[in-house]
Amino acid sequence: MPALAAPMAGRRRGGWSLAARNAAFGYVLMLPSILFFLVLIAYPLLQTFWISLHRMSTLTRQGEFVGLANYRALLESADFWGAFGQSLVWTVCCLALQMGLGIGFALVLNARLTFRPAARALVLFPYLLSTVVAVLVWQWLFNDMYGYLNYLIEEYGLSDGPVNWLGQSPNAMISTILVAGWKHFPFVTIAVLARLQGIPPALYDAARIDGASAWSRFWDITLPQLRPVLAMVIILRTIWDFKEFDLIFMMTGGGPRSSTETLPLLIYKEVFPKLSMGSGAAIAMVMLVIMVAFFWVYAGQYDREERARSR
Amino acid sequence: MAAITLNGIRKSYGPHTVVENLSIDVNRGEFLTLLGPSGCGKSTILRMIAGLDSPTDGGILFDGQRVNDVDPARRNVAMVFQSYALYPHMTVRQNLEYPLRKRGVPKARRAGLVDDVAAILRIGPLLERRSSQLSGGQQQRVALGRAMIRDPAVFLFDEPLSNLDATLRAHMRAEIIRLHLRLGKTMVYVTHDQIEAMTMSTRIAVLDGGRLLQLGTPDEVYARPATRFVAGFVGTPRMNFIPGALVQGDAGCVFRADGLTLDVPVPSLAPSGRQVVAGIRPQDLLPAEGGLPGRVTLLESTGQEVLVTAALGSQEVVMRLEDANGLRVGDTVGLAPRPGKLHLFDAESGERVGP
Ligand SMILES: Nc1ncnc2c1ncn2[C@@H]1O[C@H](COP(=O)(O)OP(=O)(O)O)[C@@H](O)[C@H]1O
Ligand SMILES: [Mg+2]
């Protein structure tokens, strides 16, 4: 043994132990991620916060330091509170619609269907479509003069006159939410479907023998098995819906009369038409705080429930 | 308790028939084992009894009542699955309670039943654990408990021990036998392990390719296998098979092995020249002066017995001895079948020939 141990000890470089060398290697591997984080996330974040403390023109990027004045102005602005409310309605409704459609389609596609492969490819279609194309198609469908939806309505006599889908409140908000639901539900479907296919069929067999109805089998087995994936999908979709810009901007431009103006559209309005970069940055910071708060509460809740279950 | 009748059952998936014209009467309180190799249709049969699958043809009767169209929940059967199929997000207690809850058993009574079952299976300390955190053996017990708790008329087991290690398997085997003695319920047990089938069953149904080959007590199946397949499937080490023919010998009909000077008198049969395969279990092959000369190629000792593999002409046979008596690889040993222990099967059909 000693004859073996001696040369091994001699190989220790610079007196570092094996554990220390492994740890050092770990830090080296982490370095790129840390750099990416600093350059791509921390710097722009601090920069935005810094801008939000200034009264600054978008064109010149010059302006005086005003402290929290931009934030104070926001809290007193009716535009901000309007957009805040619309963002809330938008996010909650989009999320509900996407989750409902997404889970529903996933359940249908998970059933043994002869046309399942084709249907699975087809269901992805709206998600793959570029937003510009999707908006153009839907604007044509929604058009109050020659749109296909109004043609159908007239054909079947569902309404007295043509429906003003996009030019009237609250129709514009509802129509836009419908399009966002249609556009993004496939993401939910794909995520949920992947999980559904991993649920052992024997669980359903056992539940049938135990006397569970189709509804209880969904409630007692499918849903609990989906919990982790639903938690993730809800987080991602909430973030994406909350900061949705292009779809609303192209559908309605925030109108009519700011009725579909959500916080991202308000930022745009502040920064570009109004050239007020400081207050735009302040709204962006508020959005960030809202998202972080949501994430905090939601993740905490999920953690607590998980811990309660595993006890 | 219920008697189960399978009446001319057929099950097809599209063009593939996986169970063919199967008729079995399972007696009330019986422990019947469906034994067969993997893919022979055992699970399919069990699922049809449970109501999870419907037969393409034929009737399933519980106590004479046709149940083909009765929902699994209403058949009053419980099933233990190979994968246990415990609800992973529920605690052990919730798993045990689930079938009771779905039947509207009140809470106080549920708690009492859970305690009873937990005591019988000694899983009391596990009740508040999540079922996904249990070991295989513990999950197995909980799965048994979930089956017992409803006091069903019929227990169905689908290879419930195949995921356990050997020690635990032997232990749980005994546990299930005791459960059958204690409850006296009708049990249908699926396995591909002939040891399980032999040790646990009242009767065994041996299946291959979706067809019933033999139905009988373990002793019957072992002592008089109905086909060559059954003979080869039941018993370890496997039965030796030697091809030959039934011909006229000095004093009546003999089995004459192809290419060997082995004649075994079988006086009860006609020397028709029929091509047959003789089966001899390893313990029925004895070392004998003047027997067939076999060259020893392998010796395997388990401590309590020795398996001797010997080459007989172009084929190998296995002999089971209590001790090797100085036998070594390369030695030549005379082999002779124990009188009256020769099984004969038709070379073509595999059916048993003679008594
Ligand atoms: N849902 C199904 N669709 C098509 N074939 C099936 C299905 N279920 C079982 N089979 C086929 O039926 C045969 C018997 O299967 P199974 O009853 O599971 O066998 P065992 O339990 O004896 O291993 C197998 O060949 C299997 O491939
Ligand atoms: Mg099986």
Ligand 1 atom closest to B16 (CA)? 5
Compute the CA torsion angle B294, B297, B302, B304 (nearest 10 deg): 20
Q: Where are the alpha helices (DSSP H) in B61-105?
A: 92-101
Q: Which two tokens stand for residue A134?
A: 């999707």
Mean pLDDT of A43-58: 90
Of the candidates B79, B83, B87, the beta carbon closest to that of A209 is on: B79
The CATH classification number of B238-354 equals 2.40.50.140
**What are the residue ranges spanned by the domains of chain B?**
4-232, 238-354
Q: Are A249 and B139 in contact (CB under 8 A)?
A: no
A203 contacts on B by Cβ (under 8 Å): 85, 87-88
A14 pLDDT exceeds 70? no
Question: What does the pLDDT read at residue A11?
Answer: 55
* Contact check, Cβ <8 Å, B81/A224: no
A203: contact with B, CB 8 A cutoff: yes
Give, as one character, the DSSP assignment of residue B351: B
Using DSSP's 3-state secondary structure scheme, residue B130 falls into strand
Nearest CA residue ID for atom 9, ligand 1:
B44
Of the candidates B85, B128, B130, the beta carbon closest to that of A206 is on: B85
From B23, B55, B49, select the one nearest B155 (Cα to Cα).
B49
* Contact check, Cβ <8 Å, A220/B85: no
Its CATH architecture, for the domain A74-310, is: Orthogonal Bundle (1.10)
Using DSSP's 3-state secondary structure scheme, residue B95 falls into helix
Angle at B147 (CA atoms; ends B142, B152), nearest 5 degrees: 160
Ligand 1 atom closest to B36 (CA)? 22
B140 pLDDT exceeds 60? yes
* Contact check, Cβ <8 Å, B78/A209: yes
Q: Which two tokens stand for residue B123?
A: 């899983």
Mean pLDDT of B239-255: 86
Using DSSP's 3-state secondary structure scheme, residue B157 falls into strand
Q: How far is the CA of B46 from the centre of ligand 2 (A)?
A: 9
B264 pLDDT exceeds 80? no
* Contact check, Cβ <8 Å, A220/B77: no
Most confident of A268-282, B3-17, B159-173, B266-280: B3-17
CB proximity list for A176: less than 8 A, separation 6 or greater: A90, A166, A247, A248, A251, A252, A260
Distance of CA B22 to the CA centre of its chain: 17
Q: What are phi and psi of B11, to 5 degrees?
A: -135, 125
pLDDT in tens, A68-107: 989 999 999 999 999 999 999 999 999 999 999 999 999 9
Of the candidates B81, B87, B99, the beta carbon closest to that of A211 is on: B99
Nearest CA residue ID for atom 1, ligand 1:
B13
Compute the CA torsion angle B316, B212, A200, A105 (nearest 10 deg): 130
Phi-psi label, residue B40: left if phi above 0, alpha if psi -120 to 50, beta otherwise: alpha
Question: What does the pLDDT read at residue B212?
Answer: 96
Q: CA of B86 to nearest chain A CA: how many angstroms apart?
A: 7
B71 contacts on A by Cβ (under 8 Å): 208
Cα(A258)–Cα(A269) distance, rounded to whole angstroms?
A: 11
Sheet holding B352-353, edge to edge: B263-265, B252-257, B240-249, B275-280, B343-346, B352-353
Question: What does the pLDDT read at residue A117?
Answer: 79
On average, the pLDDT of chain A sits at 87
A308 contacts on B by Cβ (under 8 Å): none
Number of H helices, E strands in chain A: 16, 2
A231: contact with B, CB 8 A cutoff: no
Mean pLDDT of A2-11: 50
Encode burial over A182-197: b for 16+ CB neighbours within 10 A, e otherwise: bbbbbbbbbbbbebbe
A291 pLDDT exceeds 50? yes
B102 contacts on A by Cβ (under 8 Å): 210-212, 216
Of the candidates A203, A208, A227, the beta carbon closest to that of B87 is on: A203
- Most A-contacting residue of B70, B102, B151 (CB-CB within 10 A), to test interface: B102
**DSSP codes of every residue in A132-186:** HHHHHHHHHHH-TTT-HHHHHHHHHT-SSS---SSSSTTHHHHHHHHHHHHHHHH
Q: Are A188 and A102 in contact (CB under 8 A)?
A: yes
* Contact check, Cβ <8 Å, A210/B102: yes
Q: CA of A186 to nearest chain B CA: how many angstroms apart?
A: 27
Of the candidates A205, A210, A227, the beta carbon closest to that of B99 is on: A210
Q: Which two tokens stand for residue A35?
A: 């750099």
* Contact check, Cβ <8 Å, A207/B103: no
Within 13 Å and on the Cβ side, how many CA atoms surround B213?
29
Cα(A108)–Cα(A233) distance, rounded to whole angstroms?
A: 19
Most confident of A13-17, A291-295, B249-253, B270-274: A291-295
Residue of A nearest to B70 (CA): A209
A200 pLDDT exceeds 70? yes
Token pair 């509460």 is found at: A297
* Contact check, Cβ <8 Å, A227/B89: yes
Q: Which two tokens stand for residue A227?
A: 């919990």
- Higher model confidence: residue A158 or residue A149? A149
* Contact check, Cβ <8 Å, A211/B73: yes
Encode burial over B239-259: b for 16+ CB neighbours within 10 A, e otherwise: bbbbebbbeebeeebbbbbee
Residues with CB under 6 A from ligand 1: B 13, 18, 36, 38-44
Question: What does the pLDDT read at residue B261?
Answer: 64
Question: What does the pLDDT read at residue A154?
Answer: 78
Question: What does the pLDDT read at residue A12?
Answer: 55
* Contact check, Cβ <8 Å, A210/B52: no
Question: What does the pLDDT read at residue A13?
Answer: 58
Q: Are B298 and B329 in contact (CB under 8 A)?
A: yes
Q: How far is the CA of A205 from the centre of ligand 2 (A)?
A: 14
Cα(B58)–Cα(A34) distance, rounded to whole angstroms?
A: 69
Between the alpha carbon of residue A304 and those of residues A148, A299, A310, the distances in Å are 49, 9, 10
pLDDT in tens, B75-107: 999 999 999 999 999 999 999 999 999 999 999
* Contact check, Cβ <8 Å, A209/B102: no
**What are the residue ranges spanned by the domains of chain A?**
2-52, 74-310
Tell me what percent of chain A is helix, strand and coil, each rounded to the nearest 5.
75, 5, 25
B45 pLDDT exceeds 90? yes
Q: How far is the CA of B130 from the centre of ligand 2 (A)?
A: 27
Nearest CA residue ID for atom 2, ligand 1:
B13
A301: contact with B, CB 8 A cutoff: no
Residue B157: band (very low, low, confident or very high) from pLDDT cuts 50, 70, 90: very high
Superfamily name with CATH number, domain B4-232: P-loop containing nucleotide triphosphate hydrolases (3.40.50.300)
Q: CA of B36 to nearest chain A CA: how many angstroms apart?
A: 21
Q: Are B241 and B278 in contact (CB under 8 A)?
A: yes
Tell me whether strands B252-257 and B240-249 are parallel, antiparallel or unpaired.
antiparallel
Best substitution site from B43, B82, B192 to test ligand 1's pocket, by max atoms within 8 Å of Cβ? B43
Q: pTM higher than 0.90 for the full model?
A: no
pLDDT in tens, B314-334: 889 999 998 888 888 999 998
Question: What does the pLDDT read at residue A1?
Answer: 43
